[in-house]
Structure 1
Amino acid sequence: MTEARGPFGPRRGTHGRRAPGTPCWVSLMVHGLTATERFYGELFGWKFEPGPQQLGPYSWALLDGHRVGGIGQLAPDLHLPIAWTPHFATDDVDRTAEAVRLCGGTVGVGPVEARGTGRLVIGSDTSGAVFGVWQGVPGTGTAVTGVHGTPAWTELLTFETASVTKFYKTLFGYEEEPVVSAGLDYVTLRLDGVPVAGVHGVGHSLPRDRGSHWLTYFQVDDADAALRRVAELGGRVLEPAHDSPHGRVAKVADPEGALLALVQDPR
């Protein structure tokens, strides 16, 4: 992990849109929408309102009236991994979808319209990790950052960084910055010098039941207090809070098994 506040802030390109390749949204698909809303509402203080329903029931997650992410309900016959999915901005979702295929990835959903707010694609990269691509109208996407309950960083956990980093560099034009540390396989992806995401090669530590996957870090005011709340609400603590150069960090799973990291700003 690198700068915790980097990717989800108001980094924008022309016409008020985020620069292509910038993480701009996070979304979670679950089986129990009401119970999941209750968990995150208690943990992060989110409120919910109905969102686009093209792919089934879906709710916007709000903080002080501002959108921070979305949670949708899977169809009963779909048994997909429950995971937070980052979405990356694009100015042309059709062209980006075609580029995903040409780069060796897969497009699983879309492009589809999202009730007047934009168009999206859900795909997977060359390592099998699922991600989204979002072409939104101005003002859409994650609207507040830097406070408790907001996305702070996104990181791809995979076997090794080289091949999948090439995929994302080709797709979004990222600059690659390897982190120089003995035994660490980590690459920071940058746009115009600004860090927007990380790729962490973990080798055989990669969970066999999950494979390559994106991990979203959410900012919290107090990591230790947040861990206690996770347990009280029926989630699991996977990695206890520990201090790092980027803040106090922990990893948890929600009641349906979705992984997320919590990061307390080191200020």
Structure 2
Amino acid sequence: MARDLAAAQDFYSAVLGWTFQPGMLGGEFSVALFDGRPVAGLGALAHTLHVPVSWTPYFAVPSADDVTARVRERGATVAVGPLRFAHGRAALAADLDGAVFGVWEGTVLHWSVGRGSAPAWLELRTRDAFAAAIFYGEVLRWAVPGEAGCEVDYAQGQVLVSDGTHAVAGLRGGAIEEAPDPSIRPRWHVYFPCSDVDTSTKAAIAAGGSVVQPPRVGAHGYEATLRDPDGGLFTVTTVRGRPVESASVAPDDRPA
């Protein structure tokens, strides 16, 4: 969600080489494309809503009603929906620590995180990774045969979610038997693939963005963490996907 949709399109076009086409939700929504394939969605944030601009992952589910009911049953928050859209239904929720995520019931793209034009990696930065794994595992039915089709495991300091062939998301924020870390602001973070991290970083600065973590060799390969002009946080990386066995902990991300 962006405060100025046209400006956001210009920024991500310069930084990641995306092009855009109108989305199915009307003129206030567009689909980002790379090499002609969908990457992400951008929507215009109403000026009356004083909320931070951020990237939000939406998880495909068989029933948005069932998922939102499970969210409420566990004491978490359903902020919006489920609402009917052109080809499905969507809802926006927050987990028990306040990390925002969405669910989508309907037509989905035939791609997976870490492959092709999809984002390179999703990461939940939270205070207690194991409590979060229980929450998302129950709400989204991860690791339930015949439902989500995901596998959940623990490796090298974080809980990993796999689609069976490779890891697609990591949940980190507290080692085994350690107290939850109160300094971490819980949120989902997205890694986008790019052809050249240094070039994308320079383009972000030139387009009015800022650098949170300069280019470096990190846990996910060569990467940099950036903010768009509206404050939306994301990481660019040259690594498009990682096998489960090579996954490791990303650098600390603590509020200044």
Amino acid of the structure 2 residue aligned with 1:197: A
Counterpart contact for 1:242–1:250, Cα < 8 Å:
yes
CA distance in 1, matches of 2:71, 2:55: 20
**TM-superposition CA deviations, 1:10-56 (whole Å, max 9, x none):** xxxxxxxxxxxxxxxxxxx11111111110111122222222437x8
Shift in Å, 1:156: 0.7
Shift in Å, 1:150: 4.2
Amino acid of the structure 2 residue aligned with 1:60: V
Shift in Å, 1:104: 2.4
Which runs of at least 4 in structure 1 moved beyond 3 Å after TM superposition? Answer: 139-147, 190-194
The answer to which structure, 1 or 2, has the higher relative contact order (CA under 8 A, 6+ apart) is: 1
Equivalent residue, structure 2, for 1:8: none
SS in 1 for 2:52: coil
Equivalent residue, structure 2, for 1:153: 121
Amino acid of the structure 2 residue aligned with 1:225: T
SS in 2 for 1:151: coil
Counterpart contact for 2:61–2:104, Cα < 8 Å:
yes
CA distance in 2, matches of 1:45, 1:154: 20
Higher strand share: 1
Equivalent residue, structure 2, for 1:69: 40
When normalised by structure 1's length, the TM-score is 0.77
Tell me, yes or no, if structure 1 residue 39 matches structure 2 residue 15: no
**TM-superposition CA deviations, 1:64-95 (whole Å, max 9, x none):** 33221111111111011111000111111111
CA distance in 2, matches of 1:133, 1:87: 5
Equivalent residue, structure 1, for 2:246: none
Amino acid of the structure 2 residue aligned with 1:106: T
Equivalent residue, structure 2, for 1:135: 105
Counterpart contact for 1:221–1:265, Cα < 8 Å:
no
Unaligned runs of 5+ in 2: 144-150, 175-180, 242-256
Shift in Å, 1:223: 1.1
CA distance in 2, matches of 1:155, 1:217: 8
Closer/same/farther in 2, CA of residues 141 and 233 from structure 1, 3 Å limit: farther
Bigger mean CA offset, 158-167 vs 226-235? 158-167
Unaligned runs of 5+ in 1: 1-28
Counterpart contact for 2:210–2:229, Cα < 8 Å:
yes
Equivalent residue, structure 2, for 1:225: 199
CA distance in 1, matches of 2:5, 2:119: 20
Percent identity of paired positions between Structure 1 and Structure 2: 36
Equivalent residue, structure 2, for 1:173: 142
Structure 2 residue corresponding to 1:97, chosen from 43, 52, 68: 68
SS in 2 for 1:224: helix
Amino acid of the structure 2 residue aligned with 1:154: L
Counterpart contact for 1:69–1:142, Cα < 8 Å:
no
Equivalent residue, structure 2, for 1:243: 217
Tell me, yes or no, if structure 1 residue 114 matches structure 2 residue 85: yes
Closer/same/farther in 2, CA of residues 66 and 190 from structure 1, 3 Å limit: closer
CA distance in 1, matches of 2:74, 2:229: 35
Counterpart contact for 1:187–1:200, Cα < 8 Å:
yes
Amino acid of the structure 1 residue aligned with 2:56: T
When the two structures are aligned, how many residues end up with a matched partner?
Answer: 227
**TM-superposition CA deviations, 1:203-254 (whole Å, max 9, x none):** 2442xxxx31100000011111211111111111111122135311211111
Counterpart contact for 1:247–1:266, Cα < 8 Å:
no
Amino acid of the structure 1 residue aligned with 2:67: T
Counterpart contact for 2:211–2:227, Cα < 8 Å:
yes
Cα RMSD (Å):
2.5
**TM-superposition CA deviations, 1:180-204 (whole Å, max 9, x none):** 4xxx5x2212344742311121624
Equivalent residue, structure 2, for 1:126: 96
Counterpart contact for 1:250–1:262, Cα < 8 Å:
yes
Counterpart contact for 2:142–2:152, Cα < 8 Å:
no
Amino acid of the structure 2 residue aligned with 1:129: A
Closer/same/farther in 2, CA of residues 241 and 266 from structure 1, 3 Å limit: farther
